[in-house]
Structure 1
Amino acid sequence: MGNSLPLDLYAPSPKEQARSDRAQEALERACLARYGLRWNGPGKTALETGRRMVLSKQAARFGVVDASQAARYGYHAPAWSTYNPHVSDVLDQHASIPPDVEKVLYGEVANFGDKPVPRNGCRAQAAERLVRGAPHADRELPDRLADRAAVASAEDPRLSTVLSAWRTCMTRAGYHYASPYAAAHDPRWKREGAPTEKELTVAVADVRCQNQVRYLPTLVDVTSRHQRELISRHTTELGRLKRLKDIRAQNVAEALATQPSGPVPSQEGDEPG
């Protein structure tokens, strides 16, 4: 995906998350098979959830910056995004699990037949297998640092200059907002239901003005600089997190190579690349 940021290195990409979820599912099924239990895994679209969550988070972090998205959805989340309130109707989780499978999958019983069940079940065992050999690390640290970088970026003079130019452009179009964030959170835009024509019109003008003043390239550049500064102050913690990520990727590759794979998530045509 374009417009990557330095801290992205320490979190799974959408593709990496999808592979990890498929490995988790394969290990769960293999564990259940040892108890004579056959399970085809979660619902057909459940393996989409993790990938789409990562993709949606990345796509939403700069706000609405794409002209076609603005014209189609306004400031609403696109249909594929997990921020869309209706997407949960499609991205089912572990639904309709047979009772015996559920007992062993989640460790609701100590034994099944004549065999002991792993503590917290096959699901926990599979999750532990994917981080085997990895160091303990603070997985929330990148998000906390990203928040700090965003606050610093909002006060950066370079971004302030661009926002001033954006406000001038929007004023000429007949709209008065302090920032793209303020435009997107106008209380007139209802979160539920389809966007109004007014919302679509404002969103299109917003993105057009962003493009004229080079808002997104400036925002990415400024945010990247502040993220790099924070990374330089947390090299030890982030180094452990990168090591965990690399080892997990190795474990995922091994699991996928040795276990029969489950259904491969489909790709939605209007998702960002």
Structure 2
Amino acid sequence: MPAVPGRLRAVCLAAAVAAVLTGCSSSDDGSGTGSGTGSGEPSVAETPRMTLTAGTELPLDAYERSEDDVYALAKAQNVLTEQCMKRYGLAYDAPDPSPPAHIRPNARIFGLVDAGEAARYGYGSVARTGPAPTKPKSAVLGETAKSVLFGPKTKKSGKALAEMPMSQTAAEKKKSGLVVNGSPVPVGGCLRESYLKLYAPTSSSVDIMYVFNLKGEAESRALSDSRVKKATKAWSACMKKAGYVTAAPASAARDLGFSGEAATGPGAVTAAKADVACKAEVNYAGIRFAVQSAYEKRSADRNAETLGLLREQAQDRLRLASQLTS
């Protein structure tokens, strides 16, 4: 699957409210990692004051697919699926994908930080700005069409008869055991074939979840980082002074009992406003951004070769999508 690269040099952190990091040191973070290329806590070039995250970029964002690209690829995969079904004399109209919402990226990457959103939505979700998604129409398929679309299933377990191939070249060497109108059905059916042709044509294709997994690992490491833990503790102390007992921003709504309709109620709005105020007071978003950027930068450097290959393959994929849908 497919952002601002960090310049790892010195830690910029000191005490703010309740001993939170905001000043500057001259070398590293005290972990002994220096440039941040080791396995310990990486140093950061600076820690910005940050109260909004919408539109910001982290190092690995450069390798993510845009909403428009995701939409274009989804349409292309539909074309491939329909072409595959046609080989078996079956008419199939794939459901249209939801159009891009064009929501600014990373708006809530570190949780709720926008005072305006807190006042308007509480802990609820932000209203979608793009066209409202339409529920895909479910095609009425006969048993044969279902077997071709999804691949043959065992009656006992419901799983595919053969192990799912991980590339189209591998898929072409496997047999599903099902033949329809004189043609063998691919393992996993037309849906699997369309996915592999677009996202994994060969064994050298980089998993489209590769960047997602790298980002997840970086986030996990950042949350365990001593600087982020210190900022989280300071935020929790600030919330306690405001009358709210919660251990971490990620669990605040749940800790405070604001779920479902209650997430946008008056009580949730009041708590969310206090939440955002405390994040601003301790510079929670700025510290999270600086530390997570450092981990992502280190990951990007370590995986530069694979990320470069992924970027090349993403361009090839978009060219194919354009040919299929033009």
**TM beyond 0.5:** yes
Contact kept, 8 Å, 1:32 with 1:122, in 2: the verdict is yes
Larger radius of gyration: 2
Contact kept, 8 Å, 1:23 with 1:255, in 2: the verdict is yes
**How many Å apart are 1:201 and its aligned residue?**
0.9
**How many Å apart are 1:56 and its aligned residue?**
11
Contact kept, 8 Å, 1:145 with 1:230, in 2: the verdict is yes
Structure having the higher helix fraction is 1
Secondary structure of the residue aligned to 1:185 is helix
- Relative to structure 1, the CA distance from residue 174 to residue 259 in structure 2 (aligned partners, 3 Å threshold; closer, same or farther) is closer
- Corresponding residue to 1:225 among 271, 288, 294: 294
- Corresponding residue to 2:222 among 150, 153, 161: 153
Secondary structure of the residue aligned to 1:193 is helix
- Relative to structure 1, the CA distance from residue 35 to residue 147 in structure 2 (aligned partners, 3 Å threshold; closer, same or farther) is closer
* Higher RCO (CA-CA < 8 Å; seq separation 6+): 1
Secondary structure of the residue aligned to 2:90 is coil
- Relative to structure 1, the CA distance from residue 119 to residue 155 in structure 2 (aligned partners, 3 Å threshold; closer, same or farther) is closer
Q: Deviations over 1:154-195 (max 9, x none)?
A: 3545545654664565455444444423423315223x3342
- The residue number in structure 2 matching 1:188 is 257
- Corresponding residue to 2:151 among 107, 114, 117: 107
CA distance in 2 between partners of 1:246 and 1:94 (Å): 34
- Corresponding residue to 2:112 among 29, 41, 64: 64
- Corresponding residue to 2:306 among 240, 244, 252: 240
**How many Å apart are 1:128 and its aligned residue?**
1.8
Segments of 5+ residues of structure 2 without an aligned counterpart are: 1-53, 153-176
**How many Å apart are 1:256 and its aligned residue?**
3.0
- Corresponding residue to 1:120 among 148, 163, 188: 188
| TM-score normalised by L of structure 2 | 0.60
CA distance in 1 between partners of 2:140 and 2:315 (Å): 28
CA distance in 1 between partners of 2:203 and 2:59 (Å): 22
| TM-score normalised by L of structure 1 | 0.69
- Relative to structure 1, the CA distance from residue 70 to residue 189 in structure 2 (aligned partners, 3 Å threshold; closer, same or farther) is same
CA distance in 1 between partners of 2:202 and 2:178 (Å): 26
Contact kept, 8 Å, 2:234 with 2:282, in 1: the verdict is yes
- The residue number in structure 2 matching 1:9 is 62
Contact kept, 8 Å, 1:26 with 1:255, in 2: the verdict is no
CA distance in 2 between partners of 1:248 and 1:240 (Å): 12
Contact kept, 8 Å, 2:118 with 2:269, in 1: the verdict is yes
Q: Deviations over 1:86-114 (max 9, x none)?
A: x9xx6756733422543332234833334
